[in-house]
């Protein structure tokens, strides 16, 4: 599934999450030298990058440079099917993990759990490959680095963007977790964990329904019904 995010503005307080900083370190590793990284940062901070499209395995955006605009494509490896399944199982293994993810927080123990079963969620520099329509002789060029830096702002605000890049879509993740809550339990422990997970998913769905019903009323300036607040 493709998702396009509107033009980004630099976070007022900068990158604050540990996973956002990990992404930025990967971008720095991917850069050939500071000669490309410095102008890349300048492009990102000036807002020269347009809307960013996120899809499994890649990013697509345009970057303005003076009177010109160049098209940037970023590739990042998608997890194999078995690794995607293992990642979903890691999310389901502890009650509260999906709620944290949907609240914009990536639990450190979730990433450690995934790594223990051979799933690398956070990229390293060598995994971030880029092409740009500009004439720069190195990849990633400053335009591609600008897109990568702004992609890090997206990941910092919503770690599920990272999941989407790795091939695990938000809606598919929720559907998979929901399906797990209705499977027959294999043990008392499975039953407890499944019950906790069902509660998490139910709370998330309820919050989404409330938000969908409240938003039109809020935009119209109407009084909000107490039962939905």
| pLDDT 10s digits, 61-105 | 999 999 999 999 999 999 999 999 999 999 999 889 999 999 999
For residue 228, name the pLDDT band (cuts at 50, 70, 90). very low
Selection from 95, 156, 94, 86 nearest residue 114 by Cα: 86
Pairwise CA distance, residues 110 & 80, whole Å: 18
Residue 85's domain comprises: 3-228
Q: Is the pLDDT of residue 185 over 90?
A: no
Tens-digit pLDDT profile for residues 207-224: 544 444 544 444 555 554
Give the integer Cα–Cα distance in Å for 134 and 195: 53
Residue 1's pLDDT band, with cuts at 50, 70 and 90, is: confident
User: What are the pLDDT digits (tens) for 55-70?
Assistant: 999 999 999 999 999 9
**Per-residue pLDDT averaged across 133-146, rounded?**
94
pLDDT at res. 198: 47
How many domains does one find in the chain? 1
Output the pLDDT for position 179: 84
- Find the mean pLDDT for residues 127-147: 95
Q: What is the pLDDT of residue 209?
A: 42
For 166-177, the pLDDT digits (tens) are 999 999 999 988
Helix (H), strand (E), coil (C) string for 152-205: HHHHHHCCHHHHHHCCCCHHHHHHHHHHHHCCCCCCHHHHHHHHHHHHHHHHHH
- φ, ψ at 162 (rounded to 5°): -65, -40
Evaluate if residue 202 carries a pLDDT over 80.
no
pLDDT range class, residue 204, cuts 50, 70, 90: low
Contact of 37 with 28, CB cutoff 8 Å: yes
pTM to 2 decimals? 0.79
% of residues, the chain, pLDDT over 70: 79
In this predicted structure, what is the pLDDT of residue 6? Answer: 93
- Residue 106's pLDDT is what? 97
Average confidence (pLDDT) over 150-160: 96
Task: Assign 75 to helix, strand or coil.
Answer: strand
């Amino acid at each position: 599934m493709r998702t396009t995010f509107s033009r980004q503005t630099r976070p007022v307080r900068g990158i604050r999450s540990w996973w956002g900083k990990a992404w930025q370190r990967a971008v720095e590793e991917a850069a050939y030298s500071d000669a490309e990284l410095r102008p890349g940062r300048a492009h990102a901070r000036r807002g020269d990058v347009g809307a960013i499209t996120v899809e499994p395995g890649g990013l697509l955006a345009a970057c303005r440079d003076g009177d010109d605009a160049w098209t940037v494509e970023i590739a990042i490896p998608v997890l194999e099917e078995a690794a995607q399944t293992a990642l979903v199982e890691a999310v389901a293994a502890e009650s509260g993990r999906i709620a944290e993810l949907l609240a914009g927080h990536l639990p450190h123990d979730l990433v450690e759990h995934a790594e223990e079963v051979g799933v690398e969620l956070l990229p390293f520099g060598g995994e971030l490959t880029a092409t740009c329509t500009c004439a720069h002789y190195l990849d990633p060029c400053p335009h591609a680095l600008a897109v990568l830096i702004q992609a890090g702002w997206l990941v910092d605000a919503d770690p599920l963007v990272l999941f989407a890049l790795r091939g695990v879509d938000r809606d598919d993740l929720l559907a998979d977790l929901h399906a797990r809550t209705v499977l027959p339990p294999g043990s008392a422990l499975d039953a407890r964990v499944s019950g906790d997970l069902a509660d998490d998913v139910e709370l998330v769905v309820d919050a989404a329904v409330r938000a969908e019903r409240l938003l039109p009323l809020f935009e119209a300036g109407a009084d909000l019904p107490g039962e939905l607040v």
